[in-house]
């Protein structure tokens, strides 16, 4: 630390007023924010690997010279183990996407725009950044080759696959791995492979523009790797529609630099998605099963769901024995989604696996009434102020659900939000950044989904949800609008929305749905 502060003094001519450690790095390097008396700050780095430091410093200077969005290197200690770099701020893309991530992959438009902007910048780093780049400086190797691919595949085999207890033929699996490695490295491509392209390694400046950090492990390699790494990050839970949109954004920008056979690109992208999923499962297995770290254990189910979804495509794994092993793996009971695990009642009967609303014959007849089969279902959603009473139910069905939003953080306490509502972006951002409203709505969604599914099945015609808060302006409006959009998108039912205190009434019409 003393040497880092001396380097800072040599660069600025003064001592730092504050030195703040920065957590979150996965490497053996240590990061600090050093701030001067006038508030200007830089990032100081202390590393233990001279080669790793040298790779980052060289790459950062090379990319900066090509006007790519990376931190500028400001000063380097004479022994190369400490350096100062531009401070890009404290807000990462990972932090900015927390709301959508916590909502199970339901990203709002502002978050989607950040993703589009990030993906649009990637081809420039990969293609423009590779021009005149000395790949021999890259750490720990210059190029992605078959040896490195086989290392990662065997890491998956020993740290994850073997832990599942599946009986497999070592030589047949190794033969499949060799074919897989050959296919992944079959094309010579003079591009920069970031290798650790993820939301944690993207910093956002004050205008929201993305900047890239922690690319010291990059090397020469195929561009599909980084795209697969980013879009199939298990914890992000990007929807298939959002992934497809972002692949399109990436390709549009890649075509600015090179000719692209889009059909071939998409075909090979599937192989890299499979490879990345196996890579991360190997890491999760080691960090979770062997080191017993909770975060990695919790990351296994979404990664397995990614693999399960991928294997549904017959072209995504063209290696018969590897596919056979992976299909056995995703079928293991411990990796089944919670809603698909058969449940046994106390009397020994089982509910149906595929749909809990379909009665098992052994469970006896379902209950029916004179209201069944009328359909179609229409849902009414209200927001209201408790000061003015709960909305009346004009259908005569009793009023349905009433949810009290007053336990969540109230933006109405703060002056900037007093004249706007839960339909406005500043209030939406406030509530989602705070996060309490997302936890609240998660429980509401589970209850509402079960009720709507049952009503659709029985052909009921009317269901009402009401959300109340203090003034009927912020929290209740946000919740009512989001539940309405959720039910319309998921089930295609007509939803009539009434924000009573705002005198706003809208209808989301019935529409086709995949449900």
Domain membership flag for residue 355:
no
229 plus 314 within the same structural domain: no
pLDDT at 338: 59
- The region of weakest confidence among 85-94, 280-289, 308-317, 433-442 is 280-289
107 plus 120 within the same structural domain: yes
Q: What is the mean pLDDT of residues 462-476?
A: 96
Residue 299 has pLDDT above 60, yes or no: yes
250 plus 292 within the same structural domain: no
238 plus 281 within the same structural domain: no
pLDDT at 28: 73
Q: Is the backbone peptide bond immediately before 39 cis, with ω within 30 degrees of 0?
A: no
Look up tokens 């959603």; give the residue: 381
- The region of weakest confidence among 13-17, 198-202, 355-359, 407-411 is 355-359
Domain membership flag for residue 336:
yes
CB distance 71 to 88 below 8 Å: yes
The total domain count for the chain is 4
Q: What is the mean pLDDT of residues 241-258?
A: 96
Alpha-carbon gap, residue 470 to 202, rounded angstroms: 39
Q: What is the mean pLDDT of residues 160-174?
A: 93
At residue 27 the predicted structure's pLDDT band, cuts being 50, 70 and 90, is low
- The region of weakest confidence among 3-7, 40-44, 186-190, 495-499 is 186-190
Domain membership flag for residue 372:
no
At residue 324 the predicted structure's pLDDT band, cuts being 50, 70 and 90, is very high
Residue 313 has pLDDT above 80, yes or no: yes
φ/ψ (deg, to 5) at 140: -95, 0
Residue 294 has pLDDT above 70, yes or no: yes
Length reported for the chain: 515
Domain membership flag for residue 499:
yes
pLDDT at 340: 44
| Eight-state DSSP code of residue 289 | I
pLDDT at 35: 96
At residue 206 the predicted structure's pLDDT band, cuts being 50, 70 and 90, is confident
440 plus 464 within the same structural domain: yes
Percentage of the chain modeled with pLDDT above 90: 76
442 plus 392 within the same structural domain: yes
At residue 112 the predicted structure's pLDDT band, cuts being 50, 70 and 90, is very high
Q: Return the sign of the alpha-carbon dihedral for residues 130, 132, 133, 135.
A: positive
Alpha-carbon gap, residue 225 to 250, rounded angstroms: 13
26 plus 73 within the same structural domain: yes
List of long-range contacts for 449-455, beta carbons under 8 Å, 24+ apart? 449/487, 449/490, 451/401, 452/377, 452/379, 452/487, 452/491, 452/493, 453/357, 453/491, 454/357, 455/377
166 plus 194 within the same structural domain: no
Alpha-carbon gap, residue 426 to 428, rounded angstroms: 5
Residue 356 has pLDDT above 90, yes or no: no
Q: Which residues pair with 210 in a beta bridge?
A: 204
Q: What is the mean pLDDT of residues 494-510?
A: 94
Alpha-carbon gap, residue 89 to 213, rounded angstroms: 12
Q: Which residue has the higher pLDDT, 476 or 299?
A: 476
At residue 348 the predicted structure's pLDDT band, cuts being 50, 70 and 90, is very low
Domain membership flag for residue 349:
no
465 plus 385 within the same structural domain: yes
Q: Which residue has the higher pLDDT, 102 or 203?
A: 203
Q: What is the mean pLDDT of residues 365-390?
A: 76
62 plus 117 within the same structural domain: no
CATH number at residue 29: 3.30.200.20
Residue 368 has pLDDT above 60, yes or no: no
Q: What is the mean pLDDT of residues 286-295?
A: 81
pLDDT at 375: 64
Domain boundary among 217, 233, 260: 260
- The region of weakest confidence among 29-33, 67-71, 246-250 is 29-33
pLDDT at 320: 95
Domain membership flag for residue 200:
yes
Q: Which residues pair with 20 in a beta bridge?
A: 33
Q: Which of 498, 473, 466, 483 is nearest to 411 (CA)?
A: 473
Residue 350 has pLDDT above 90, yes or no: no
Residue 461 has pLDDT above 90, yes or no: no
pLDDT at 128: 97
Tell the burial category of 64 from Cβ atoms under 10 Å away from its Cβ (0-12, 13-18, 19+).
middle
Domain membership flag for residue 80:
yes
Domain boundary among 86, 105, 132: 86
- The region of weakest confidence among 114-123, 296-305, 469-478 is 296-305
At residue 355 the predicted structure's pLDDT band, cuts being 50, 70 and 90, is very low
CA dihedral 410, 413, 415, 417 (to 10 degrees): 20
pLDDT at 372: 53
- The region of weakest confidence among 87-101, 267-281, 303-317, 334-348 is 334-348
Domain membership flag for residue 347:
no
Q: Which domain holds residue 172?
A: 145-184+273-340
130 plus 246 within the same structural domain: yes
At residue 48 the predicted structure's pLDDT band, cuts being 50, 70 and 90, is confident
pLDDT at 354: 42
Query: Each residue of 384-403: pLDDT tens digit?
Result: 999 999 998 887 777 789 99
Q: What is the mean pLDDT of residues 285-312?
A: 88
454 plus 502 within the same structural domain: yes
Domain boundary among 38, 60, 86: 86
pLDDT at 513: 61
pLDDT at 211: 98
Average pLDDT, the chain: 89
pLDDT at 253: 97
Structural tokens at position 221: 């390699």
Alpha-carbon gap, residue 110 to 459, rounded angstroms: 38
């Amino acid at each position: 630390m003393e040497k880092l502060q001396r380097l800072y003094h040599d660069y600025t001519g003064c001592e730092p007023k504050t030195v703040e450690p920065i957590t979150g790095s996965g490497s053996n390097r240590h990061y600090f924010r050093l701030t001067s008396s006038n508030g200007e700050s830089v990032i100081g780095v202390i590393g233990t690997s001279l080669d790793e430091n040298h790779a980052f410093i060289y790459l950062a200077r090379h990319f900066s010279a090509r006007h790519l969005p990376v931190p500028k290197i400001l000063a380097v200690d004479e022994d190369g183990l400490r350096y100062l770099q531009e401070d890009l701020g404290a807000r990462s893309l990972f932090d900015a996407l927390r709301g959508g991530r916590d909502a199970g992959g339901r990203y709002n438009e502002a978050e989607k725009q950040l993703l589009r902007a990030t993906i649009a910048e990637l081809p420039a780093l990969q293609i423009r950044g590779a021009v005149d780049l000395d790949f021999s400086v890259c750490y720990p190797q210059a190029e992605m080759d078959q040896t490195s691919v086989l290392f990662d595949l065997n890491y998956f085999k020993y740290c994850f696959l073997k832990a599942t207890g599946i009986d497999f033929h070592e030589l047949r699996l190794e033969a499949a791995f060799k074919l897989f490695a050959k296919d992944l490295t079959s094309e010579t491509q003079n591009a920069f492979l970031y290798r650790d392209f993820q939301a944690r390694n993207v910093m956002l400046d004050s205008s929201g523009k993305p900047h890239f950090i922690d690319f010291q492990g990059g090397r020469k390699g195929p561009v599909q790797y980084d795209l697969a790494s980013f879009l199939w990050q298990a914890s992000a839970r990007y929807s298939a529609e959002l992934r497809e949109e972002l692949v399109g954004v990436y390709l549009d920008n890649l075509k600015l630099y090179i000719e692209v056979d889009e059909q071939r690109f998409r075909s090979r992208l599937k192989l890299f998605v499979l490879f990345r999923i196996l890579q991360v499962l190997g890491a999760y297995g080691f960090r979770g099963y062997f080191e017993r770290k909770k975060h990695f254990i919790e990351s296994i189910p979404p990664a397995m769901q990614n693999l399960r979804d991928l294997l549904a495509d017959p072209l995504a794994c063209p290696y018969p024995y590897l596919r056979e092993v992976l299909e056995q793996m995703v079928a293991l009971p411990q990796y089944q989604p919670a809603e698909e695990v058969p449940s046994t009642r106390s009397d020994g009967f089982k509910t149906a696996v595929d749909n809990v609303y379909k009665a098992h014959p052994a469970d006896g007849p379902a209950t029916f009434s004179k209201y069944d089969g009328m359909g179609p279902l229409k849902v009414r959603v209200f927001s209201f102020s408790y000061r003015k009473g709960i909305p009346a139910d004009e259908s005569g069905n009793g009023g349905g659900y009433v949810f009290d939003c007053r336990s969540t953080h109230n933006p109405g306490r703060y002056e900037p939000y007093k004249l706007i509502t839960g339909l406005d972006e500043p209030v939406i951002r406030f509530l989602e950044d705070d996060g309490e409203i997302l936890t609240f709505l998660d429980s509401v969604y589970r209850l509402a989904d079960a009720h709507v599914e049952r009503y659709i099945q029985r052909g009921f015609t009317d269901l009402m949800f009401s959300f109340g808060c203090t003034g009927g302006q912020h929290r209740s409006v946000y919740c009512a609008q989001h539940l309405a959009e959720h039910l319309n998108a998921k089930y295609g039912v007509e939803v009539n929305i009434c924000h009573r205190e705002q005198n706003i009434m809208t209808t989301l019409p019935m529409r086709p749905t995949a449900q």
